[in-house]
Amino acid sequence: MGYCEVGGELLTDAVAIHHRKLRSQLGHDEPSNLLAVCHDHHNLGDDAIHLNVAKALENGWLLASWQTPLEAQALIHGRWWVHLDDAGRYHLPPPTLAEIIDQMRGKEMP
Ligand SMILES: [Zn+2]
């Protein structure tokens, strides 16, 4: 069935399809604008997207009218910052220079 894209827990049949940019803000139905979430994370729990708007904006679960779903990253499963595409896939951002240097140093170590 899949996992709640906000909390990462296993989804049951009760799934909410959330629009990151709301339809009232002309958000579309393409996958980059949609998150499959449990109802607790959507609008029932204390920290739900629609009840804690500041946190949702900070985490890319809600987008401002000037943001575009393909460009705005989202925090997925509480762990990964990704870009969402319109084929329903996640893309990790490219590593920073510091991360590349750390990786190279790690390989040189015995
Ligand atoms: Zn959830």
Instruction: Encode the chain (110 residues) as per-residue pLDDT tens digits.
Output: 789 999 999 998 889 999 999 999 999 999 999 999 999 999 999 889 999 999 999 999 999 999 999 999 999 998 999 999 999 999 988 788 888 888 888 866 55
What is the C-alpha separation between 20 and 102, in angstroms, rounded? 34
Q: How would you class 18 by CB atoms within 10 Å of its CB: exposed for 0-12, middle for 13-18, buried for 19 or more?
A: buried
Give residue 97's region: left, alpha or beta (phi > 0; psi -120 to 50): alpha
**DSSP states of the chain:** --B-TTT-PBP-S--EEEESS-GGGT--SSGGGEEEE-HIIIIISTT-TTT-HHHHHHTTSS--TT--TTTS-EEETTTEEEEE-TTS-EEPPPPPHHHHHHHHHHHH--
Q: How far apart are the first and last CA of the chain?
A: 43
For residue 109, the model assigns a pLDDT of 53
For residue 35, the model assigns a pLDDT of 97
Å from CA of 51 to ligand 1 middle: 14
Å from CA of 66 to ligand 1 middle: 26
Å from CA of 67 to ligand 1 middle: 24
Å from CA of 11 to ligand 1 middle: 8
Å from CA of 12 to ligand 1 middle: 10
